[in-house]
Chains A and B, each alone.
Chain A
Amino acid sequence: MLPEAEFEHVLAKKYMRTEIMPHAFCPGCGLGIIERMILMAFEELGQEEWDRTVFVSGIGCSGWTPLYFRRDAAHTLHGRALAFATALKASRPDLNVIVVMGDGDSMGIGGNHLIHAARRNIGITAIIATNMLYSLTGGQMSPTTPEGAKTNTTPYGNIEPNFDLMELLKAAGATYLARWTTYHFIQAKNSIKKAVKHKGFAAIEIVFQCPTYAGRYILNRPDPRDMMQWFKENSIPLGVAKNKSPEELRGKIIVGEYLHRTDRKEYTERLRELEERAKGKGR
């Protein structure tokens, strides 16, 4: 029998800074589940992949996630996580660069960097954790807030439609796209595994529960268990959603693997080619 007073989980013992745990997140926050998805993906990928992985994160609740891993991590400016990651990948193409971002980093403040990273098709894995509002600063409206939702800054209901990140990135030129919720644990883990191995810009949107703000204001479900149940009932797989009308899909989360293409060239490969060409001509 393990003593429960100083007990540590096997995964946590192997990969995480257990001395600064418990997490700073609220009880029931889904970011811990996203951490576990990443760790379990690397547990299956092997130690070699883990040894050449670098995490980059921005600001927000999601910016905390990589800081608990026993791995190099950069906690960067708000919205500029992808800019830092692009520089890192361009200078060290052998590294796995994983960026963990939230709504603000990816779509709000850093939206420009996101579409240009996708356009370049640089080999970064972007894990975009969205919880439908800005939760660190107190529940303000964000680009992923659904239409009609009440938040702190939209007390009469949100009048703006939300981003469809998958369509945006598909048009921008990303080559691996998937969207899951924290309820779809195994699927998201497999997607992360695929994305780490994928050459090119890979984005995985993971909708996670924020019981403190999204649960209280948007869904009227302050209990994390109710929020998980809501994810379970309101997510539709891509194959099923194809046959349904837009009215039926309103307010639902369409989950699935959206895109996996291998025909576009990766940015760092182009960079190496350019380097060789320039060197050859210089002499």
Chain B
Amino acid sequence: MASPVKVQQIAVSDKLCKGCYLCIWACPWDVLEISEERNWRGVKKPYAARIDQCRACRLCEWYCPDFALQVIVDEKEEKVLLEVEENYEKPWLERVRKRDEVVRKGVWWLED
């Protein structure tokens, strides 16, 4: 399934990546894959195999413990993303948060 967001590159550092593959675990869209060749540090780095599926949710970036990975989106695309977040996602999330806070004092997005 192609993504509506156009991601330019998922950059993985040669120097910083240690090969724990938490980024692959975190990705909900199955974008990253382990490369077959080792780099000069002896690490099989992850690379973006299916970049057209990437939606720039940046979960891989957040869960990377070594600051080795970055999702790079066009400036224009980034603007559109931020606009969508500001105008549509934020009010919606705010509404859900308020509703759930009333229902129970806990964490609203962690229901089982």
Interface pairs (20), CB distance under 8 Å: A2-B11, A5-B15, A8-B67, A21-B15, A21-B67, A25-B66, A28-B18, A28-B65, A30-B65, A32-B64, A33-B62, A36-B62, A184-B107, A185-B62, A187-B107, A228-B25, A228-B63, A239-B104, A240-B106, A255-B107
A interface secondary structure, majority: mixed
Given contacts A22-B16, A25-B66, A237-B107, 9 further A-B contacts (CB under 8 A): A1-B11, A22-B66, A22-B68, A27-B18, A28-B22, A29-B65, A224-B25, A228-B26, A255-B107
- B89 on the A face (CB < 8 A): no
Residues of B in contact (CB 8 Å), total 34
Residues of B within 8 A of A224 (CB): 20-22, 25
For B9, B61, B65, B107, which residue has the most chain A Cβ atoms within 10 angstroms?
Answer: B65
Residues of B near any A CB (own CB < 8 A): 8-9, 11-16, 18-22, 24-26, 61-70, 72, 104-107, 110-112
CB of B15, distance to nearest CB on chain A (Å): 6
- A156 on the B face (CB < 8 A): no
CB of A230, distance to nearest CB on chain B (Å): 12
Chain A, residues 1-31, CB within 8 Å of chain B (1/0): the string is 1101111111110001000011101111111
Residues of A in contact (CB 8 Å), total 45
- The 8 Å CB contact of B65, one of A32, A236, A237, is A32
Chain A, residues 96-134, CB within 8 Å of chain B (1/0): the string is 000000000000000000000000000000000000000
Residues of B within 8 A of A16 (CB): 67
CB of B76, distance to nearest CB on chain A (Å): 17
**In the bound complex, what is the Cα–Cα distance between A8 and B62 (angstroms)?**
15
- The 8 Å CB contact of A237, one of B9, B14, B68, B106, is B106
